[in-house]
Chains A and B, each alone.
Chain A
Amino acid sequence: MGLTNAYRDFICQVSTSSPSAPTLFNAANAYVGVGSSSATFSATHTQLLGQMVTGGRRGMEQNYPTASGNTMTFRALFTTGDANDQPWWEWGVFNAATNGTMMNRKAETSSLGTKTSAQSWQMTVTLTVTVA
Chain B
Amino acid sequence: MTEITFNSIEDYEAFLREYESLPKSERGEIHIEERVVLEKFDGDVNDASPVEVIEIVNDIVNGEIINSERREVKNGSN
B residues contacting the other copy or chain, number (CB 8 A): 30
Interface SS majority for chain B: strand
Residues from chain B with Cβ under 8 Å of A13 in the complex: none
Residues from chain A with Cβ under 8 Å of B31 in the complex: 129-132
A3: nearest residue on chain B (CB-CB)?
Answer: B32
Q: Are B60 and A1 in contact (CB under 8 A)?
A: yes
Interfacial residues of chain B within 35-62, with CB under 8 A of chain A in the complex: 35-45, 50-52, 54, 56, 58, 60
Complex Cα gap A122–B1 (Å): 36
Which positions in A face B, CB cutoff 8 Å?
A: 1-3, 43, 77, 79-80, 91, 104, 106, 108-110, 112-113, 115, 118-132
Which positions in B face A, CB cutoff 8 Å?
A: 1, 28-45, 50-52, 54, 56, 58, 60, 63, 65, 68, 70
